[in-house]
Chain A
Amino acid sequence: MVEKKENEFRKRDLFYLVPLWFISLIAPDPYLYHKKEFKKKDIFYLAAICLAPLIWSDSHFHHLMVLAGIYAILALGLSLFMGYAGQISLGHAAFFGIGAYTTAILTTRYAVPTFLAFWASALSAALIAHLIGRPILKLKGYFLALATLGFGEIFLVIVRESTNLTGGVIGIFGIPWFSVMGFSFDTYFKQYYLTWGVVMGLFIFSKNLVRSKVGRALLAVAASEDAASSVGINVSKTKLEIFVLGAVFAGWAGSLFACIMSTASPEAFSLGFTILVVMMVILGGMGNLYGPIGGAILLTWLMDILSKYQEFSLPIYSVILILFLTFFPDGIGTRLNVRVIYLIGYWAKKKKRDEGKL
């Protein structure tokens, strides 16, 4: 009698274990976040990203994913600063804006090719980040959050008021499509591969940084600045460097954004936008690089769904935000994995108990 029960249990086990095994192949594993090498899963993700627009050829889907890609670049840079180095930045939208406006001004007024403007955007973002980074990064915690917030607001005010340079509240129109050597990215389909190509490239770059001496220095600074100094890590230089890198990523994202939306206006870079981007980093889980990308996709998709509700979209959005923060402060992936496994295990046990009673 006992043997039969065991056999039955094993068969049922397989039924639950196979999908679990499959999920574990593709889902990022929060318990192994500290293993920073490239994994086999990454090939699956790469393939998924390359093939997705071919599978779903809906133009709206492409448009959404292009936006998600841009936000992913932004979130990736920010997550290096916040997730790894442990700092807080509530003004990152400003660097996004700097990138967008640099590209906008250069391409519309000075006929600079978009490819060059792309790099110029990164440069301008880096310069400004370097300038304000030095004094601001001396602060910690709430004060740092507040200072970055202040910087973001100042940027907005300057943009709104300098009508000659930035077109004021209306913004700049007519930014050309992004093009490289005559090949112009004018459809959402092409733009998808452009943005996600950049995402992949920057992801690999970031991953390399994170699994090397640089990543260790960042984590060290986050965990204990005194200890980091004691082993020779220049804490303020490290913080500044990663702040500038995050700004560069944001600048690139802004540049692509300008080329894709064809306009640059101040409303796109407000505090609300910063909150959205920070949420992407938090929701994905700080301390890993898949998180911000996943968070970007999730939140872009969420915003799209909510836009159907018109004036209700913001209230619903804020409620969802607060719920996410309450239930998933470590990121959605973390608890979800455990909960799914727990649920499946619970269900298996329950079935076994029912069978037993029979």
Chain B
Amino acid sequence: MSLLSIEKITKEYDGIKALDRVSLKVEKGRIKGLIGPNGAGKSTLFHLISGVEKPDSGKIYFKEKNITSLESHERSALGIGRTFQTLQIWGNMTVVENIMAGMDRRLGGGFFSYGLWLPWIRRSEKEALKEAKEILDSLGLLGKWESMASQLPYGKQKLLEIGRALAMKPELLLLDEPASGLTLTEIDQLSEKISRTRQEGVTVFMVEHHMGMVMEIADEIGVLHNGKLIAEGTPATVKKNPRVIDAYLTRRNRKPDA
């Protein structure tokens, strides 16, 4: 059983097919990469998986369950976490609050319990804080736990976003261009952390442009071009695939046909 299964997803924007009958699977416990030239539809695919947008046709299965019609937060509740290409951390909160907000779903209680600060809430919040600090520690961000998230340098903000996604204890982690904007050292640290999450049992599906990093840590790679999946396989096979080379080296404008 694949953790994530996408079947014939199509998404059109104003007549241009961003995704054209794309099907792929992500196996549990693996790291899968998704590459392709700019504008190939990679981020669109992520938006469709996480629920920010709905596909025009096709189905998405997560843990054998059809999630195509579910809302975004319902899908996250099932165990899908993600980061964003445009870096959507919450700058109006502190670093530790970002993480805590990430795991808040796992805490119970409604307005009244929190407003009246019932005793069990006190305990729950304390534990949440403790756990959040542990997560920050594993990311190396503990030193700044009380600063506003907007004050962190860019590389650390990206790490924070991943930490927030992990705080949810997801089964599938969608990373949208995690290495963009990072220095080479930071990219190395990132690769190491992503490999570590795999050890913790999280399946990773990532979109990335940085070839070096993807080829190194991914078990399997899919290649998207002009909205179609043109190759899928181990990094070695994909590297040699003539269609892939063609897609990257040839400048093609968006055309509906292959």
Report A's interface with B, CB cutoff 8 A: 34-35, 205-206, 208-209, 212-214, 216-217, 219-220, 222-224, 226-235, 241, 245, 287
- 23 A–B contact pairs at CB < 8 A? A205-B115, A209-B111, A213-B107, A213-B109, A213-B125, A214-B111, A216-B97, A216-B101, A217-B101, A217-B104, A219-B90, A223-B90, A223-B93, A227-B88, A228-B73, A230-B50, A231-B105, A231-B167, A231-B168, A232-B105, A233-B73, A234-B71, A245-B111
Binds A, one of B24-32, B74-82, B197-205, B217-225: B74-82
| Residues of B close to A222: CB separation below 8 A | 92
Do B77 and A220 touch (CB < 8 A)?
no
Tell me, yes or no, whether B142 is within 8 Å of chain A by CB. Answer: no
Q: For the complex, is B120 an interface residue (Cβ under 8 Å from A)?
A: no
**Which residue of the partner chain, among A206, A226, A233, contacts B84 with CB atoms under 8 Å?**
A226
A229 to B109 alpha-carbon distance, docked (Å): 18
Q: Determine if A206 and B81 form an interchain contact, defined as CB atoms under 8 angstroms apart.
A: no
Q: Could you tell me if A212 and B101 are in contact, using CB atoms closer than 8 angstroms?
A: no
Q: Does B94 contact A (CB under 8 A)?
A: yes
Report B29-79 residues with CB < 8 Å from chain A CB. Answer: 50-52, 71-73, 76-77
Instruction: Other than A34-B93, A34-B94, A235-B73, give 11 A-B pairs with Cβ distance below 8 A.
Output: A209-B115, A212-B114, A213-B125, A214-B115, A219-B90, A223-B89, A223-B93, A229-B51, A229-B52, A229-B71, A231-B101
Cα distance A33–B85 in the bound complex, in angstroms: 29
Q: How far is B168's CA from A83's CA once the two chains are assembled, in angstroms?
A: 26
Q: Is B13 an interface residue (CB 8 A)?
A: no
Is B148 part of the contact surface with A, judged by Cβ < 8 Å?
A: yes
Minimum CB distance partner of A245 in chain B: B111
Which residues of B have CB within 8 Å of A245? 111
| B249 contacts partner chain A, Cβ-Cβ < 8 Å | no
Beta-carbon contact of B116 and A216 below 8 Å: no
Given the complex of chains A and B, what is the CA–CA distance between A234 and B51 in angstroms? Answer: 12
CB distance from A34 to the nearest CB of B (A): 5
Distance of B150 from chain A, by nearest CB (Å): 9
The answer for the CA separation of A49 and B84 in the assembled complex, in Å, is 47
Write out the residue numbers on chain A whose beta carbons fall within 8 Å of the beta carbon of B114. 208-209, 212-214
Q: Looking at the complex, which one of A208, A213, A220, A287 makes contact with B90 (CB distance below 8 Å)?
A: A220
Pairwise interchain contact B92-A230, C-beta atoms closer than 8 A: no
- Supposing A208-B115, A231-B168 touch, asked if A287 and B76 sit within 8 A by C-beta, the answer is no
CB distance from A97 to the nearest CB of B (A): 24
Contacts of B103 in A (CB 8 A): 231
Contact of A230 among B82, B104, B116, B128 (CB under 8 A): B82
Nearest to B108 among chain A residues (CB) is A213
B198–chain A nearest beta-carbon distance, Å: 20
Chain B residues in 8 Å Cβ range of A212: 114, 117, 121, 125
Contact with A along B102-140 (1 / 0, CB 8 A): 111101010100111100010001001000000000000
Q: For the complex, give the distance between the alpha carbons of A214 and B177 in Å.
A: 30
Contacts of B146 on A, CB cut-off 8 Å?
35
What is the CA–CA distance of A207 and B222 in the complex, to the nearest angstrom? 49
How far is B89's CA from A220's CA once the two chains are assembled, in angstroms? 9
Q: A34-B148, A213-B109, A216-B93 are in contact. Are A231 and B115 (CB under 8 A)?
A: no
B168 partner, pick from A217, A232, A234, A287, beta carbons under 8 A: A232
Please tell me if the beta carbons of A219 and B93 are within 8 angstroms of each other in the complex.
Answer: yes
Residue of B nearest to A286 (CB): B92
